[in-house]
Structure 1
Amino acid sequence: MKLTLEVKTAILVILGIIFFIFGFSYLKGNNIFDSNNTYYTEFDYNSLNVSAPVTIKGNTVGKVKEIIYDFETGKTRVAFSVDKKLEFSKNSTISLFQAGLMGGNALEIIPVEDNQMAKNGDLIKSSVKEGLVNSLTSDFSQLSTNLDGTLSTVDTLMGNLNVLVADQSENGLKSTLAELNSTLKSYNGLAHSINALVKKNDANVTAMVDNFNTTSANFSTMSEKLNKVDITKTVADLEATLGSVNKMLAGIEKGDGSIGKLLKDDKLYTNMEGAALQMEQLLEDMKLNPKRYVHFSLFGKKAKRYDAEGNEIEEEK
């Protein structure tokens, strides 16, 4: 059977229409061979586009299929399809959120753990989550307020600085800078004077350094000699000497030896005190009666005798 040109043309037109419908549906995100489940939710306003993604826990599981305005309720009804393999409760929530700065809005399934599973065609309750742009707008608004305050402070500071720079009085900034410049010049001149003085006395400074080095060497030699001394033996000898002294003092304290007896024996002290008293009495008697002790006769006359009381004893004839 031979096809006529008209039949061929009709077939091509029909195929073109089919491909156009399929392509248009594909570009819209619809698949005419799709067997996903379709669910519905409602919002007070429309901020979605057809083919917007539907996610659960951050994973894309479907897309927005249709957006219809309900004249009876005044709400926007959204039809979305998800894979049949996904099962979730009909008490779950469909949340409208902002996918990103340039990504538009999307739907998120917030599941609830129960046994009342959603069926194809069920109406699921909805909610709206605060978007990223709104959050950033709030942050930028606060930042703008803070920036305004900072700029106002900077403006005030610059005004005060201008007044300070323009002040020509004695306490002004220019006067202060001039005084500072003069002070720096004075310090510069002093530094040159010190350098000249150091150069002039370079020989003396060198001699002082040499003397210091010699002194340091002497101290080093002395330190080496002290290190060579047997400190342990010296300390041991000193301890032995101190031990002997302590032993001697202990003996004196006990009354041993002549010094100990002299310091501790009361009898010896009493005898010495008595002897001293008798010596004193003897000297006193010698002063009063010298004739008792010195007998001198020029012509051989016999010396007189005296008793203990100083009376003359007559000789028997």
Structure 2
Amino acid sequence: MSITSDYPISKTSIAELQGSSPLGGKEIVIIPNDSDSNLAVSGDYLKASSKLGLTDALAQQLEPLQDKIQKLLDNADVLFTNVNEVLDAQTKQNLKSSIAELNKTLSEFSVASKNINGLIADNKTKLSSTLTNFDKTSSNFAKMSDSLAKANLGQTVKNLEKTLASVDKLMAEMEQGKGTMGKLMKDETMYNNFSKASNELELLLQDLRLNPTRYVNVSLFGKKNKPYVAPINDTIKK
């Protein structure tokens, strides 16, 4: 190349190839090295360099993006192909039938909703009365709860627990043979003696009824009492 400038260019200066404008074009820019006093002469070679212009840099950046877009388009094409295969005539008819059934269901639901609204409107008075009664019942229940709270149920429960504890203690002592009832339950000798005394008392009462003169001597108008005759069964049951 021919340089017509009188500016001193050293041999270590760089000749850089650059883009002249965003729309394209090329130019060579001399980057001088003023610290070098060894100037270049005609026929010398300068160190070369290149710098991408805006268009080249954009093209370089878009190249990998172009590959990604191409892959995305290929995948989209495969996807739509598969969708077309799935949505055959039968599938489309099934979808139409499903949509029609859904519309029918929504229509029936609308009718049912209207019926419910009419039923609520017709029974509004009864519902209001029911809610009023419920409010009264809740109020009465609240009053009853207050009454129960003031009844000192805790002390009553404590007293009941004490009574049950006493009963448990009494039953335990009876089980161990303590006290009169416990001895009657556990002491066989006492039970036999009690049974024997009961039989003797029974014989005594029977003999007193059959032979009162044996125990009471009463004479009316000088009449002699009949001699005492011992009972036949004068034995004690065992």
Common topology (TM > 0.5): yes
1:248 and 1:295 map into 2 onto residues whose CA distance is 45
Question: Is 2:155 the counterpart of 1:217?
Answer: no
1:268 to 187, 190, 208: 190
1:137 to 63, 68, 90: 63
1:50 and 1:165 map into 2 onto residues whose CA distance is 66
2:50 and 2:17 map into 1 onto residues whose CA distance is 10
The Cα shift of 1:199 comes to 1.2
8 Å CA contact retained: 1:252, 1:259: yes
2:116 to 159, 174, 194: 194
3-state DSSP class of the match of 2:54?
A: coil
2:154 and 2:170 map into 1 onto residues whose CA distance is 24
3-state DSSP class of the match of 1:38?
A: coil
Against the structure 1 CA distance between its residues 303 and 182, is the aligned structure 2 distance closer, same or farther, given a 3 Å change threshold?
Answer: same
**Could you tell me which residue of structure 1 aligns to residue 169 of structure 2?**
247
8 Å CA contact retained: 2:211, 2:228: no
2:82 to 132, 146, 156: 156
**Could you tell me which residue of structure 2 aligns to residue 226 of structure 1?**
148
The Cα shift of 1:211 comes to 0.9
1:206 to 103, 128, 132: 128
1:233 and 1:208 map into 2 onto residues whose CA distance is 39
Deviations 1:89-125 (A, max 9, x none): xxxxxxx8976x7286xxxxxxxxxxxxxxxxxxxxx
Give the number of aligned pairs: 199
**Could you tell me which residue of structure 2 aligns to residue 178 of structure 1?**
100
8 Å CA contact retained: 1:295, 1:303: no
Residue identity opposite 1:219 in structure 2 = F
Residue identity opposite 2:12 in structure 1 = T
Deviates more, 1:199-208 or 1:219-228: 219-228
Identity %: 27
8 Å CA contact retained: 2:176, 2:182: yes
The Cα shift of 1:257 comes to 3.1
Question: Is 2:38 the counterpart of 1:38?
Answer: no
**Could you tell me which residue of structure 2 aligns to residue 237 of structure 1?**
159
1:192 and 1:223 map into 2 onto residues whose CA distance is 42
1:147 and 1:278 map into 2 onto residues whose CA distance is 122
Residue identity opposite 1:238 in structure 2 = L
The answer for unaligned runs of 5 or more in structure 1 is 1-19, 26-31, 41-45, 54-65, 67-76, 81-95, 105-130, 311-317
Of Structure 1 and Structure 2, which has the larger fraction of its residues in helix? 2
Deviates more, 1:190-199 or 1:157-166: 157-166
Q: In the TM superposition, what are the counterparts of 1:1-317 in structure 2 within 5 Å?
A: 21-22=5-6, 32=8, 38=12, 50-51=28-29, 79=47, 102=54, 137-158=63-84, 160-161=86-87, 163=89, 167=93, 172-275=94-197, 293=210, 302-303=226-227, 305=229
Against the structure 1 CA distance between its residues 257 and 51, is the aligned structure 2 distance closer, same or farther, given a 3 Å change threshold?
Answer: same
1:309 and 1:262 map into 2 onto residues whose CA distance is 29
2:105 and 2:158 map into 1 onto residues whose CA distance is 66
The Cα shift of 1:260 comes to 2.4
CA RMSD of aligned residues (A): 4.6
The Cα shift of 1:50 comes to 4.1
Of Structure 1 and Structure 2, which has the larger fraction of its residues in strand? 1
8 Å CA contact retained: 1:253, 1:260: yes
Residue identity opposite 1:145 in structure 2 = K
8 Å CA contact retained: 1:39, 1:79: yes
The answer for unaligned runs of 5 or more in structure 2 is 19-26, 32-39, 214-222
3-state DSSP class of the match of 1:195?
A: helix
1:166 and 1:246 map into 2 onto residues whose CA distance is 82
8 Å CA contact retained: 2:17, 2:50: no
